[in-house]
A and B are shown apart, each in its own frame.
Chain A
Amino acid sequence: MMLMWGPMLMAFLMGLVIGTRFKNYSYFTLSSFVCIFIVVIIFAYMNGQVPFYTGINISTSFISAAVGLIIGKLICDR
Chain B
Amino acid sequence: MSNKPSMILKVSALSISFIIICLGILTILGGHITPGGGFQGGAMIAAGIVLTLLVYGLEKNPFHLSHEYVIAVENISALGYVGLGLVGLAFSGFYLYNIGADIYSLVPSIIATIFHYPDTTNAGIVPYLNIFVGLKVLVGLATVAIAFQGFDKIREDH
Partner-B contacts on A (CB < 8 A): 2, 4-7, 10-11, 14-15, 17-18, 21-23, 25, 27-28, 32, 35-36, 39-40, 43, 47, 50-52, 54, 59, 61-62, 65-66, 69, 78
Contacts and interface: CB of A to CB of B under 8 A. Distances in A.
Contact of B25 (A6, A11, A52): A11
The size class of the interface chain B forms with chain A is 35 or more
A69 B33 contact: no
Contacts of A10: 29, 127, 131
A6 B118 contact: yes
Nearest to B130: A10
A65 B25 contact: yes
B138 to A, nearest CB: 8
B26 A28 contact: no
B101 interface: no
Contacts of B138: 18
Nearest to B72: A17
A76 to B, nearest CB: 10
Among A27, A28, A47, residue most surrounded by chain B Cβ atoms (within 10 Å): A27
A2 B118 CA distance: 12
Nearest to A22: B62
Contacts of B151: none
Given A5-B118, A39-B19, A43-B19, A15 B63 contact: no
A62 B22 contact: yes
Nearest to A73: B62
B1 interface: no
Contacts of B30: 7, 50-51, 61
Contacts of B22: 15, 40, 43, 62, 65-66, 69
